[in-house]
Structure 1
Amino acid sequence: MAETEGSPKERRVMVAVDESEESMYALSWALDFLCIGDEDTLVLLHAQLPPRVYTTVDDTGYLFSSDIMESMGRYQRSITENVLERAKRICTGKNVCVETRVAIGDARDVICEQAEQLQPDFLVIGSHGYGAIKRAFLGSVSDYCAHNVKCPVLIVKHPRNKTE
């Protein structure tokens, strides 16, 4: 069906969320300034860290048991649940259709893969505001995504406290 002039086009906006204030601010910003309406879909994407696999004894001579590994997995899942619950609360009352996606892996790879799969109209991602040295060692997820995702990428900077 052809889009008629004046009718709103349904948009799909993907927002990458994690436990940081920066990502929650980016979500709020997207809701406030992208004017997401009831025709639009907001996809909340969380990249869950993969479980670490310890196949040998570590430097201290400690071998992780399956109970400890399961406990670490439960902890990661609880972080994911908390992040998505917090993000959904921010969306409450905004009259927008919300989908949630969780993928396991490095945030850079997860975001790029999901953007390729879902083909959103926009990707919104928060900036942690790392300095040049920290960015050089850790890498910037937002910078990586800006260079590797095919859709427009909005990198939202969290306003800094003026007394800092």
Structure 2
Amino acid sequence: MAESEVPERRIVVAVDEGEESMYALSWCLKNVVSRDSKDNLILLYAKPTYSVYPAIDGTGYMFSSDVIASMEKYRRNLADCVMEKANNLCKDLPNIKVQTRVENGDPRDVICDVVEKINADLLVMGTHGYGLIKRAFLGSVSNHCAQNVNCPVLIVKKPKSVGTISACK
């Protein structure tokens, strides 16, 4: 009897500069991804776009082009730092294909769009654990994604007793 081959899964892990997402990634690597599997792990970082508001007197923008360029450089460096940390967590997985994707836009929309576009088998996310009031004002990315994607969503909450995983700041 021939051995049945395990199908290759596409697992999207949403990462950001917070330690919660790095904890979710490390938890996923220990508990979801098998060392012997041929899973395809997609590390996804959504770079939020920042609005630049016009000055009240109509003379131009509130920020000079130098300030805007500095803000964009910071966003690029932050994305590079996040992806480097995420890749370092995945480096000891010989059979796992690791891809990185950095997309621009609201994280809620970016994550849902990428998951649907690549027909992911699983979405893994961390949660900041905001209370009811903060969540009402800021919104919950993980809740939004859980309600709007067509694949299973694993939301990993970092226990308070677990040490910090250095994040980019």
Question: 1: CA distance between counterparts of 2:33 and 2:77?
Answer: 31
Q: What secondary structure does 2:150 align onto?
A: coil
Residue 16 (structure 2) aligned to one of 6, 10, 18:
18
| Contact persistence 2:54–2:61 (CA under 8 A) | no
| Contact persistence 2:52–2:63 (CA under 8 A) | no
Structure 2 residue ranges without an equivalent (≥5): 163-169
| Contact persistence 2:6–2:37 (CA under 8 A) | no
Structure 1 residue ranges without an equivalent (≥5): none
Alignment of 1:110-125 (within 5 A): 110-125=110-125
Q: What secondary structure does 1:15 align onto?
A: strand
Q: Which moved more, 1:16-25 or 1:44-53?
A: 44-53
| Contact persistence 1:13–1:42 (CA under 8 A) | yes
Q: Could you tell me how far 1:94 is from its partner in structure 2?
A: 1.8
Question: 1: CA distance between counterparts of 2:132 and 2:18?
Answer: 19
Q: Could you tell me how far 1:64 is from its partner in structure 2?
A: 1.1
Aligned: 1:56 with 2:59: no
| Contact persistence 1:51–1:73 (CA under 8 A) | no
Alignment of 1:129-140 (within 5 A): 129-140=129-140
Q: Could you tell me how far 1:56 is from its partner in structure 2?
A: 2.4
Calculate the TM-score normalised by the size of structure 2: 0.86
Alignment of 1:1-164 (within 5 A): 6-36=4-34, 37-57=36-56, 63-95=62-94, 96-161=96-161
Q: What secondary structure does 1:130 align onto?
A: coil
Question: 2: CA distance between counterparts of 1:56 and 1:148?
Answer: 37
What percentage of residue pairs aligned between the two structures are identical?
Answer: 53
Q: Give the aligned length.
A: 157
Question: 2: CA distance between counterparts of 1:139 and 1:124?
Answer: 18
| Contact persistence 2:15–2:45 (CA under 8 A) | yes
Amino acid at match of 2:127: S
How far does the alpha carbon of each residue in 1:51-70 deviate from its partner, in whole angstroms, 9 at most, with x for none? 33233259xx9831111101
Amino acid at match of 2:100: T
Q: What secondary structure does 2:156 align onto?
A: strand
| Contact persistence 1:51–1:72 (CA under 8 A) | no
Q: What secondary structure does 1:134 align onto?
A: helix
